[in-house]
Amino acid sequence: MAADSGWPTGVGRRIYDTLDSTNAEAARLAPELAGPTWILAREQTAARGRRGRPWQNPAGNFAATLVSRPDEPPERLALRSFVAALALRDAFVAVTGRPGSFALKWPNDVLLNGGKVAGILLETLTGGGTPWALAVGVGVNLRMAPDRAEVEPGAVAPVSLMSETGACLTPEEFLDQLAPAYAMWESRLTTYGFAPVREAWLQNAARLGETVTARTGRDSWEGRFETIDDSGALILVTARGRQAIPAAEIHF
């Protein structure tokens, strides 16, 4: 489903020339925001990916964070990674017209022609041990992809939207597509629960039914990617039986 280009009602937008990171700005702004707000930076000086890894953000690429205060338990907040992935796919299809070129890599990447074009970073902002705000960070290689030597060994090679499809967008133009797509999938989640989000995500999942390797800092599983469960955990059929893996990185 393509994204509607109209900005979603009740959602704010702040655009900066330079920030340390949009997730960091989300943490600073969260206490004063009246509602969900997108924070976009044309340049980031201290961008981060998963597990604190540096995130390369060349000029012209997309870096934004949606900060909100959903009144939900942490396990429910984590489902926004699937909401964000579907919204990204919708935005990409809207600007390229190429639905078959994009796939969703569990748990939080979007692939274009098999290469990584976008990543998602969720962070909960806590006070007194209780989550009180959620930051959904999104990075997209709009114009340039990091050099392959800059990514960790075994990771999917990065690609850019422009080099793979010829689409040339500013970060602001891409946000105009992403924000309404995210609002639509968020509405589905809050209205109907995770089931329709899960179904749509699985329809676009990379390597579903194929053998993959899931790794954490301590453990590794190899098996057939069967599905994701109602909590978003990866379900692998391994030599040791069916395994539910709540968090890991998968390798093809």
Q: pLDDT by residue (tens digit) across 163-192? A: 999 999 999 999 999 999 999 999 999 999
User: What does the pLDDT read at residue 4?
Assistant: 45
Distances (CA, A) of 185 to 96, 140, 165, 197: 20, 19, 25, 7
Residue at 186 is within a domain? yes
Q: Is the pLDDT of residue 3 over 50?
A: no
User: What does the pLDDT read at residue 75?
Assistant: 87
Residue at 60 is within a domain? yes
CA angle in degrees (0–180, nearest 5) for 234-236-239: 155
Domain containing 158 — which CATH number? Answer: 3.30.930.10
Tell me, yes or no, whether 220 and 139 share the same domain. Answer: no
Residue at 79 is within a domain? yes
Query: What's the count of helices (H) and strands (E) in the chain, helices before strands?
Result: 6, 12
Tell me, yes or no, whether 24 and 133 share the same domain. Answer: yes
Q: pLDDT by residue (tens digit) across 216-236? A: 888 899 999 999 999 999 999
Determine the structural domain holding residue 247 and report its residue range. 211-251
Q: Is the pLDDT of residue 193 over 70?
A: yes
Q: Is the pLDDT of residue 113 over 90?
A: yes
Tell me, yes or no, whether 221 and 96 share the same domain. Answer: no
Residue at 7 is within a domain? no
* Residue 160, amino acid: S
Better-scored residue on pLDDT, 5 or 46:
46
Q: Mean pLDDT throughout 138-163? A: 86
Q: Is the pLDDT of residue 142 over 80?
A: yes
Q: Mean pLDDT throughout 34-44? A: 95
DSSP state of 20: S
Reported residue count of the chain is: 252
